[in-house]
C-alpha cells in the first residue's frame, strides 16, 4: 500500500524533529517541513500531501489559522492542528476552520497515530460516499461524482461521460437515474440525457452547454427540472 504523505508545518525545530521521526516510524511519508505560511502554501502545491499537521503559532505574521482558511478555500486538504494552547478563544478560532483533528502539546506517538488515522479514515469515508463504481472491462472504476458530466442513453445502453473517459453499460436511463446517479445534482434534461448540474456552462431555451464543450438538447418536458 502506498504510504500516506504528510506535510509538517511547525516552527519549533525540536518538535519538528521528534514529529518527523514519529511519522516515519509509524510508516508515513513526510513530504515536507515548513515553518511559515508562504512556504507551506508552496509545499502544498508541489508535494500534494494527503494530510497536513499545522502548528497554530507559526513564524511570521500569518498563523496556522490563516493557513487553515487558505487550505479550505484553495486546496481542500485535511489538516490537524498542533498547539500548546487549549484556551477557549484558540479552540473557537480553530473550530471555525473545521480541522480534522486537534493535538495539544506535549503529545506522544499514540496521540499522533490515533489523530492521523481517524482523520484519514474520515476523508476516505467521505470520498467513498461521493463516488460511484462503474464496470470497466474486467474491473470496476471508481469515479468521483464531480467527475461525472452526463449520461447518454441509446435504447438499453447508457454511455457515461466523465472528465477522463467514457464507459458504456447495458442499462436504460431510467435505471441509471434510480440506482447509479440517484443524487440531487443529476437531473434529466431529455429522454436520452441525464446531466450533472454542476457541469453546466450555459443554457438556452432548447439547449444546455456543458463545461466539456458538449451541447445537449433540452426537452420541453424537462425544463422545470432545472429550476
pLDDT of residue 13: 93
Mean pLDDT, each 10-residue run in order, the chain (227 residues): 92 94 96 96 96 94 95 92 87 92 91 94 75 79 88 94 92 91 90 94 93 94 83
State the virtual CA torsion across 34, 37, 42, 45 in degrees, nearest 10: 100
pLDDT of residue 145: 84
- Cβ-based neighbours of 6, under 8 Å, separated by 6 or more: 23, 28, 29, 30, 31, 49, 50, 51, 52, 53, 116
Report domain 5-129's class.
alpha beta
The pTM score is: 0.63
pLDDT of residue 129: 64
Domain locations in the chain as residue ranges: 5-129, 132-226
Task: Please give the Cα distance from 215 to 209 (Å, whole number).
Answer: 4
Task: Please give the Cα distance from 186 to 173 (Å, whole number).
Answer: 12
pLDDT of residue 128: 62
pLDDT of residue 84: 87
**Which of the following CATH numbers is that of domain 132-226: 2.40.50.100, 2.40.50.1020, 3.40.50.300, 2.60.40.10?**
2.40.50.1020
Amino acid at each position: 500500500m502506498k504510504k500516506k504523505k504528510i506535510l509538517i508545518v511547525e516552527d519549533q525545530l525540536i518538535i519538528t524533529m521528534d514529529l518527523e521521526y514519529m511519522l516515519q516510524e509509524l510508516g508515513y511519508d513526510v513530504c515536507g517541513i515548513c515553518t511559515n505560511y508562504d512556504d507551506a502554501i508552496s509545499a502544498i502545491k508541489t508535494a500534494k500531501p494527503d494530510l497536513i499537521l499545522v502548528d497554530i503559532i507559526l513564524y511570521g505574521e500569518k498563523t496556522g489559522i490563516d493557513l487553515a482558511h487558505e487550505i479550505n478555500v484553495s486546496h481542500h486538504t485535511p489538516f490537524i492542528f498542533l498547539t500548546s494552547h487549549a484556551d477557549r478563544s484558540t479552540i473557537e478560532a480553530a473550530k471555525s476552520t473545521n480541522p480534522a483533528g486537534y493535538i495539544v502539546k506535549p503529545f506522544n506517538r499514540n496521540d499522533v497515530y490515533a489523530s492521523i488515522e481517524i482523520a484519514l479514515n474520515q476523508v476516505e469515508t467521505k470520498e467513498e460516499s461521493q463516488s460511484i463504481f462503474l464496470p470497466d472491462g474486467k474491473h470496476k472504476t471508481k469515479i468521483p461524482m464531480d467527475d461525472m458530466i452526463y449520461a447518454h442513453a441509446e435504447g438499453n445502453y447508457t454511455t457515461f461521460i466523465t472528465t477522463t473517459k467514457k464507459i458504456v453499460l447495458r442499462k436504460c436511463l431510467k435505471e441509471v437515474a434510480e440506482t447509479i446517479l440517484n443524487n440531487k445534482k443529476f437531473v434529466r434534461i431529455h429522454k436520452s440525457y441525464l446531466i450533472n448540474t454542476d457541469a453546466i456552462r450555459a443554457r438556452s431555451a432548447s439547449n444546455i452547454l456543458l463545461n466539456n464543450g458538449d451541447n445537449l438538447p433540452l426537452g420541453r418536458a424537462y425544463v422545470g427540472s432545472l429550476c
